[in-house]
Structure 1
């Protein structure tokens, strides 16, 4: 990932996600919501673990 994603933009594409959610659920939700490739790529680059909240996803993207 070349630069950190805007957490507000990312969360816009993850609006229907039930947490906890793993990386693949986040990627699928983003694709289903029509997220641009850079957002999908950023989510694909996350560690393959369970995220318990939107905040946890935003923090992981900021790393």
Structure 2
């Protein structure tokens, strides 16, 4: 997975999660990204996140780091 600028980089993924009320689960993240018109590559990245409960953006990035 490419982790450069733009695309599905951590900063870009967080951009499309704007408005998420934490704590949140994976479905909350998917719905927020959809509302924010996330491109397909970002949606795919969010769908690959571990099924988990996220206490804040830092937990999402921890899950992001676990994606192969």
Check whether TM > 0.5.
Answer: yes
Please give the TM-score of this superposition, normalised by the length of structure 1.
0.87
Q: Work out which of the two has the higher radius of gyration on C-alpha atoms and give 1 or 2.
A: 2
Q: Which has the higher contact order (CA 8 A, sep 6+)?
A: 1
Q: What CA distance in whole angstroms lies between the structure 2 residues aligned with 1:35 and 1:10?
A: 8
For residues 10-58 of structure 1, the C-alpha deviation after alignment (integer angstroms, 9 at most, x for no partner) is 1111110010100010011001101011111111111221000101101
> Aligned residues, how many?
61
* Aligned position for 1:13: 16
CA RMSD of aligned residues (A): 1.1
Please give the TM-score of this superposition, normalised by the length of structure 2.
0.82
Secondary structure at 2:31 match in 1: helix
Secondary structure at 2:38 match in 1: coil
